[in-house]
């Protein structure tokens, strides 16, 4: 079940409940059972789903609800709140500060999209005026350095790596030192992919972390990982201090529920999601807008962010003034079309609103 289907199933369950003439315990149970089924089919861990169900029942206590209370609204709010809680560990991750050198280490399973995501993360910050740099400490996969080099060159981001050196710890330390000297403020260390069964590779990852002392370790997870997400994420957390999660390939046909399980396993928030292979197919992740979108309520804050990104704040009053004077010229229309195109593929824009 892809995430949009999960959202569809949950909103259908809510709709069915809303259609009932009287909202009683039986109607609530039916609605919760539907939601539980949808979450389990999306690969969310069983325990998380069960806890959510118990919490909602506690929040919606029919005996305590006086007549006249809007039960539908209370139930909807409880479901929204619990879904948010599943995705929000309650404490924000370390946030690097512009101008102050931070080391961010990327870890994850093989093929999860680490190398691609490192560049996206660097590019995202570079666009906001940071001085990022990339270090390739993946000596395991042949071609990893070439891939990082190619991505970094395309984005004009400095990089460090070696074709000869086989010790990832040495490369990582050298790279971090070099970029600290060059006053880079975001030094990103890419490591090789590994599974929890590979003890030697886990030990190597621990050593890279110990030697580079990262300010933040980001666990990169492919959204299609499914039920294995919890155990794998927990194994990473036990070896290195994972502080944040990035979920990749959210554009694919993944079930996506593993994301919820990874948050629970690492007790770390999801900070970004990858939505395609290209460098700019990368979105900041915010729990509430995401859950709103999942429930078909639209993400107007994300939509407004996009508008602010493409129409600079200082030009907005001028534009409004011209429009209010009925001064809508062909040039303004052309500029606005250009701005709409800058917002990205029209599908992405529609997805932020509820136009899809």
Question: Considering CB under 6 A, how many residues would be counted as binding ligand GTP?
Answer: 22
CB of 111 or CB of 345, closer to ligand GTP: 111
CB of 31 or CB of 233, closer to ligand GTP: 233
51, exposed or middle or buried, with CB in 10 Å at 0-12, 13-18, 19+?
middle
Out of 189, 275, 285, 351, which residue is the one contacting ligand GTP (CB under 6 A)? 275
Contact map string, positions 49 to 68, toward ligand GTP, x by CB under 6 A:
--------------------
Binding piece for ligand GTP, criterion CB under 6 A, among 15-23, 112-120, 262-270, 301-309: 112-120
Q: Does 42 bind ligand GTP (CB under 6 A)?
A: no
CB of 78 or CB of 344, closer to ligand GTP: 344
Beta carbon of residue 218, minimum distance to ligand GTP (angstroms, whole number): 12
Sheet holding 132-137, edge to edge: 159-160, 132-137, 186-191, 102-108, 216-222, 242-248, 270-274, 282-284
Q: Does 248 bind ligand GTP (CB under 6 A)?
A: yes
Out of 168, 256, 276, 302, which residue is the one contacting ligand GTP (CB under 6 A)? 276
> Would you list the DSSP string of 127-196?
HTT--EEEEEE--SSTTHHHHHHHHHHHHT--EE--SS---HHHHHHHHHHHHHHTT-SEEEEEE----T
CB of 142 or CB of 313, closer to ligand GTP: 142
d(CA 282, CA 286): 13
- The answer to whether 146 and 175 are in contact (CB under 8 A) is no
**Residues in touch with ligand GTP (CB under 6 A):** 108, 110-116, 138, 141, 144, 147, 192-193, 248-249, 251-252, 274-277
């Amino acid at each position: 079940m892809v995430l949009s289907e999960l959202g569809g199933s949950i909103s259908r369950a809510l709709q069915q409940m809303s259609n009932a003439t009287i909202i009683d315990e039986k109607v609530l149970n039916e609605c919760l059972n539907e939601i539980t089924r949808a979450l389990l089919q999306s690969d969310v861990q069983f325990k998380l789903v069960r806890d959510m169900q118990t919490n909602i029942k506690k929040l919606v206590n029919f005996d305590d609800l006086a007549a006249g209370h809007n039960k539908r609204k209370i139930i909807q709010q409880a479901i929204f709140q619990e879904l948010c809680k599943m995705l929000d560990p309650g404490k924000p991750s370390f946030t690097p500060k512009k101008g102050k050198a931070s080391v961010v280490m990327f870890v994850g399973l093989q093929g999860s999209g680490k190398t691609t995501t490192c560049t996206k993360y660097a590019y995202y910050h570079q666009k906001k005026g940071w001085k990022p740099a990339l270090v390739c400490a993946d000596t395991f996969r042949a071609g990893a350095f070439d891939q990082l080099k190619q991505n970094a060159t395309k984005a004009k981001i400095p990089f460090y790596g070696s074709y000869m050196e086989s010790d990832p710890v040495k490369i990582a330390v050298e790279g971090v030192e070099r970029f600290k000297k060059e006053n880079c403020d975001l030094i990103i260390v890419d490591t090789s992919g590994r599974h929890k069964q590979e003890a030697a590779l886990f030990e190597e990852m621990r050593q890279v972390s110990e030697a580079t002392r990262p300010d933040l370790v980001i666990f990169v997870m492919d959204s299609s990982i499914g039920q294995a997400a919890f155990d794998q994420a927990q194994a990473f957390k036990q070896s290195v201090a994972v502080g944040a999660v990035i979920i990749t390939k959210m554009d694919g046909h993944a079930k996506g529920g593993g994301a919820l399980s990874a948050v629970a396993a690492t007790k770390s928030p999801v900070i970004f999601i990858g939505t395609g292979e290209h460098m700019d197919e990368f979105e900041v992740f915010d729990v509430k807008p995401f859950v709103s979108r999942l429930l078909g309520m639209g993400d107007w804050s994300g939509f407004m962010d996009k508008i602010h990104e493409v129409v600079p704040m200082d030009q907005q009053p001028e534009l409004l003034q011209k429009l209010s004077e009925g001064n809508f010229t062909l040039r303004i229309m052309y500029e606005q079309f250009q701005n709409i195109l800058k917002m990205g593929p029209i599908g992405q824009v529609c997805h932020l609103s509820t136009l899809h």
